[in-house]
């Protein structure tokens, strides 16, 4: 879904707030960049639409509160700041090897607000420290 793209004071209009139900995951495009938009208990969240593990389609994931689970290998990220809750559901040597090749990294999340019945995207939030 493509927003109007209007810019106001550094914020960009992404999508009509009425099409994003509480807990619903919606993909939108902002200036060619695909993002995931959701609302949890009235608070909007916007993140990259692709998983930082191997690019899984996060709008097809599952949301539990603010914790998003990727549909591919079930990594989990908290949408409040993008921190990794779980890096894949792999175990044992496969997990060790995969983390050596591709160590856990946070999901990019952005400031978001609802104004004039639209959801707006702001700057990228400061990423949380990476735990290795």
What is the binding site for ligand FES (CB under 6 A)? 51, 53-56, 70, 72-73, 75, 88
Q: Which is nearer to ligand FES, 2 or 102 (CB)?
A: 102
**Coil, strand or helix at 106:** coil
Question: What is the smallest separation between the CB atom of 38 and ligand FES, expressed in angstroms?
Answer: 17
Instruction: List helix spans (H) across the chain.
Output: 92-101
Task: Please answer whether residues 53 and 74 qualify as being in contact, where contact means their C-beta atoms are separated by less than 8 angstroms.
Answer: no
Q: Which is nearer to ligand FES, 3 or 56 (CB)?
A: 56
Question: What is the smallest separation between the CB atom of 55 and ligand FES, expressed in angstroms?
Answer: 6
From 103, 96, 58, select the one nearest 76 (Cα to Cα): 58
Question: What is the smallest separation between the CB atom of 90 and ligand FES, expressed in angstroms?
Answer: 9
Rounded CA separation 120/37 (Å): 10
């Amino acid at each position: 879904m493509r927003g109007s793209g209007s810019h106001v004071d550094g914020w960009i209009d992404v999508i009509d707030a009425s099409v994003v139900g509480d807990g619903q995951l919606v993909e939108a495009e902002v200036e060619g960049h695909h993002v995931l938009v959701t609302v949890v208990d009235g608070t909007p969240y916007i993140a990259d639409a692709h998983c930082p593990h191997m690019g899984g389609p996060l709008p097809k994931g599952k949301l539990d509160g603010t914790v998003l689970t990727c549909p591919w290998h079930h990594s989990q990220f908290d949408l409040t700041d993008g921190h990794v809750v779980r890096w894949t559901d792999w175990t044992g040597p496969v997990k060790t090897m995969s983390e050596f090749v591709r160590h856990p990294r946070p999901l990019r999340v952005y400031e978001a607000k609802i104004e004039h019945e639209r959801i707006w995207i702001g700057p990228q939030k400061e990423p949380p420290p990476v735990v290795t």
